[in-house]
Amino acid sequence: MIEPRILEVRTKILKKNDELARAMRREFESLGLLVVNMVSSPGTGKTSFLRETLSRLRARGIPVAAVVGDLETDNDARRLAESGAPVRQIMTHGLCHLEADMVQSHLAGWNLADLHYLFIENVGNLVCPTSWDLGESVRLALLSVTEGEDKPLKYPGLFNTADIAAITKTDLAAACEFNRELARANIEAVRPGMRIIETSVKTGAGIDEWFDYLAEKRRALEARTA
């Protein structure tokens, strides 16, 4: 009797997304565009931090744009548009993460070569966005002082794929009895060597350090493609 055959496939399950994301990153980087993918739980402060980032970069004359993923509403896109930057909403209709083709299709008509930075606010979720490369050069994981210091240990997969972490809402740290050292140690445990910034949109803390980081990354990208 003929047995079923085993066919070795050895293929990345998300190959299609990976390939598209790689091609997108090549294009972005060749244009001198630094793309940032922002991931965190809902309510951590992605939209607030991004709006602050867009407003301040624009005030410095730096061309920026953003796309924001949301399950059903366009509230975040409207809040971000207050910065004056071009903003587009990606409605995911229940999908818990963004995928590369969704980002690509929402960039149509923008002259990417004129932009220095493009920010992607991912859907608020600490698990699902992990495996989807969106063509970004920088993945920013955010964690607020109100969430508890052990978040990185509960979601190591996500923190482990990040390039930089932001601890947000530091203006509330004292009220939440936030243990800063412990939070930093937990991030370090799951992603040794990762840069950590401490931010607040109320006090403006950490924003300059964030901009220094972005500028440094963009210079590195320009040097690579020059």
Ligand X SMILES: Nc1nc2c(ncn2[C@@H]2O[C@H](COP(=O)(O)OP(=O)(O)O)[C@@H](O)[C@H]2O)c(=O)[nH]1
Beta carbon of residue 65, minimum distance to Mg ion (angstroms, whole number): 16
Residue nearest to Mg ion (CB): 47
Beta carbon of residue 121, minimum distance to other proteins (angstroms, whole number): 17
Query: Which residues, 6 or more positions from 94, have their beta carbon under 8 angstroms from its beta carbon?
Result: 71, 72
Residue type, 146: T
Establish if 192 lies at the interface with other proteins (CB under 8 A).
yes
Establish if 193 lies at the interface with other proteins (CB under 8 A).
yes
* Buried b / exposed e along 66-83 (16+ C-beta atoms within 10 A): bbbbbeeeeebbeebbeb
Nearer to ligand X, 24 or 164 (CB): 164
Nearer to other proteins, 189 or 220 (CB): 189
Nearer to ligand X, 24 or 141 (CB): 141
List 62, 95, 172, 215, residue binding other proteins (CB under 8 A) = 95
**In a 3-state reduction of DSSP, which class is residue 83?**
coil
The residue written with tokens 């309510």 in the block is 43
Closest CA to 121 of 184, 75, 156: 75
**In a 3-state reduction of DSSP, which class is residue 142?**
strand
Quote the CA–CA distance of 93 and 159 in Å, as a whole number: 25
CA 83 to chain centre: 18
Beta carbon of residue 163, minimum distance to ligand X (angstroms, whole number): 18
Residue 70: which of ligand X, other proteins, Mg ion, none does it interact with, CB under 5 to 8 A by kind?
none
Beta carbon of residue 39, minimum distance to ligand X (angstroms, whole number): 10
List 69, 124, 129, 152, residue binding ligand X (CB under 6 A) = 124
Quote the CA–CA distance of 33 and 18 in Å, as a whole number: 19
Establish if 16 lies at the interface with other proteins (CB under 8 A).
yes
Beta carbon of residue 19, minimum distance to other proteins (angstroms, whole number): 12
List 130, 168, 190, 207, residue binding ligand X (CB under 6 A) = 168
Beta carbon of residue 17, minimum distance to other proteins (angstroms, whole number): 8
The span from the first CA to the last CA of the chain, in angstroms, equals 62
Quote the CA–CA distance of 134 and 33 in Å, as a whole number: 14
Residue 38: beta bridge partners?
Answer: 121, 140
Sites of contact with ligand X (CB under 6 A): 40, 42-48, 124, 168-169, 171-172, 200-202
Which residues contact other proteins (rule: CB under 8 A)?
Answer: 1-2, 4-16, 95-97, 99, 127-132, 153, 156-158, 160-161, 188-194
